[in-house]
Amino acid sequence: MQNDGEKRTKVLVLLGSPRKNGNSTLLAREIAKGAESAGADVETLYI
- pLDDT(19) > 60: yes
Predicted pLDDT of residue 20: 84
- Rounded CA gap, 14 and 7, in Å? 22
- Rounded CA gap, 46 and 8, in Å? 23
Collapsed DSSP state (helix, strand, coil) of residue 41: strand
- Rounded CA gap, 42 and 31, in Å? 10
**Interval 19-26 mean pLDDT:** 92
- pLDDT(9) > 70: yes
**Is the pTM higher than 0.85?**
no
Predicted pLDDT of residue 3: 57
- Rounded CA gap, 3 and 18, in Å? 36
Share of the chain above pLDDT 90, in %: 74
**Interval 15-28 mean pLDDT:** 92
